[in-house]
Amino acid sequence: MSKQEPPQPPLMGNVGAMTMIEDRYYVQSLTEQVFLVRERASTDREPGPNDQIVRSFDVRHDAYMYVGSLNEKQRKLDENYGHWAQRAI
């Protein structure tokens, strides 16, 4: 089974007494040279095999930079339109 890596941004998990919502986009490492950017199907599920593949990368750093950018855009959309009302891509 392939390893799913948690998103890199530090906004995940608990920050003080406040719990942050999980990011919509994440990186899944298929091999040492193949990294998939995936979109979680919903907020109430863990990342899984049915999550949509958004893009693939052969450089890990590039995949995480792309995911960071997508999640930042998604946070702005969530603030303006409601949680997961629109997609960043």
Task: For 30-77, write each residue's pLDDT tens digit.
Answer: 999 999 999 998 777 788 888 999 999 999 999 999 999 999 999 898
- 84 pLDDT band, cuts 50/70/90, is low
Q: Is residue 33, in this structure, part of any structural domain at all?
A: yes
Classify residue 87: in a domain, yes or no: no
In this structure, which amino acid lies at residue 85?
A
Distance from C-alpha of 49 to C-alpha of 52, rounded to nearest angstrom:
8
Q: Say what the pTM is.
A: 0.69
CA–CA distance, 7 with 25 (Å, rounded to integer):
8
Number of domains in the chain: 1
Q: How far is CA 3 from CA 16, 35, 46, 73, in A?
A: 29, 10, 13, 26
| Domain carrying residue 62 | 3-81
d(CA 17, CA 11): 13
In this structure, what is the dihedral angle of CA atoms 72, 77, 82, 83, given to the nearest 10 degrees? -30
Residue 19 lies in a domain: yes
Residue 40 placed within a domain: yes
